[in-house]
Structure 1
């Protein structure tokens, strides 16, 4: 329980600072001590609850049109992701989480700019993120890769990502509960870890106010790569 709280605090701090990354970092860390399915359930529940704590003061920064398109794409991908997750084993799921994190972290660090990837592809980006969120708690990296190719400032990117992940985590949890992929016990256990997530959010938010231009290449990307390699190798 103590180690889980430390992991959750760390994930909360990263997301409070950057606006994303909580679910995937929490799932990666928690998979060292819990099963992949339990890790996803805990990560998604805490992602949803702690995201609500970050809503204050960000509505003015939202890109509402982009958020609507991303959300529509995400909702369309949920049924496909639920069919997929019912066919994989716990070990396959764990490796899939690590693999998705390794690839996404590497791509973010490379800072690839795809000039044709604009807001017209928001539906597709939302679908990929929604699929990744439900199957591996990895909805953050695909969305970040997409948003980094748009002309968004740090505050707009952070605000749009926070609200999108509230919708995405809620939809994923409802779907996973519906197909019995996760248990209500895991969700209840996550409530015990919620204070650690909130405290991490507060610390990250303080860091953002002090250093308001977080670069995903220097923050979340190295963390994703390191955690993914630890899971794959050990």
Structure 2
């Protein structure tokens, strides 16, 4: 098993940083930084492998994240509508991931990553708070979250656009996000394990980075009340934008070689 672990120091430098930041976001805010996984890890591995490794790591993070919030802290009325949509969106994402040409899939991942990065920096505000549960909007948000989290681990924005309109506490927001992504990761994990059978090296790479997961989640949870979400996310999305741009260039070159 240990013979299958990577030996490249650059892989560990990039992988440890990406895994720690993903865990930090999970522990502090319930998620949102998993979008870092693919573009950063794609600097040291194939984008499809990066997607599978990220899926394995974020599923492992949920084990630590769900126990770091008080039981029942999540918003159950919202989850009733978010989770069915999540399941449907995840299934659509699986079909796209499995049946679309890998070069086009890399292009889709790059475009989704850059679109959400631009949205973060250009957004005009969180929207109107203190609005009631909206079943149709929750279902739509669940579908969008399921699809984008499967394709690019970028399910945070669709979910945030819905939850930020609700009058729930910071803890309830983070806990609800953790539950949604935990369920989403459980649903999509078999699909990514299936995809990983064609890329067996991904399991060794995920195993090599797994020890960083509890450290990132632990640090994030204890910094929950002291971290500035805006500053942390601004820095991380800046890194995502740079890595996503490189991924886009590589995808275009693969599709239309000169």
What's the TM-score once normalised by structure 1's chain length? 0.85
Unmatched tracts of structure 2, length 5 or more: 1-10, 250-258
Taking the aligned partners of 1:34 and 1:136, their CA distance within structure 2 comes to 15
Can you give the 5+ residue segments of structure 1 that lack an aligned partner in the other structure?
Answer: none
Q: Which of residues 49, 65, 70 is equivalent to 1:58?
A: 70
Q: 1:5 maps to which residue?
A: 16
Conserved 8 A contact 2:117-2:240: no
Question: Are positions 1:49 and 2:60 aligned together?
Answer: yes
Q: What is the aligned counterpart of 1:119 among 121, 131, 134? A: 134
Spell out the pairing of 1:72-221 with structure 2 (5 A cutoff): 72-109=84-121, 110=123, 111=125, 113=127, 119-120=134-135, 121-178=137-194, 183=199, 185-211=201-227, 214-215=228-229, 217-221=230-234
Structure-1 residue corresponding to 2:6? none
- Cα offset for 1:114? 6.5
Shift in Å, 1:126: 0.7
Q: Secondary structure at the match of 2:21?
A: helix
Counterpart-to-counterpart distance in 2, 1:181 and 1:133: 20
Residues in 2 aligned to 1:173 and 1:123: alpha-carbon distance in whole angstroms: 21
Is the CA contact (8 Å cut-off) linking 1:50 and 1:197 kept in structure 2?
yes
> Is the Cα–Cα contact under 8 Å of residues 20 and 215 in structure 2 kept in the other structure?
yes
CA deviations over 1:57-90 (Å, ceiling 9, x no partner): 3323211121232111111123322221234344
After superposition, the Cα gap between the structure-2 partners of 1:158 and 1:5, relative to the gap in structure 1 and judged at 3 Å, is same
Asked if the contact 2:58–2:185 (Cα under 8 Å) also holds between the matched residues in 1, the reply is: yes
Query: Highest Rg: 1 or 2?
Result: 2
Larger displacement relative to structure 2 (185-194 or 112-121): 112-121
**1:36 equivalenced with 2:52 (yes/no):** no
Alpha-carbon spacing, 1:2–1:229, altered in 2? closer, same or farther (3 Å): closer
Residues 175-184 or 96-105, more deviating: 175-184
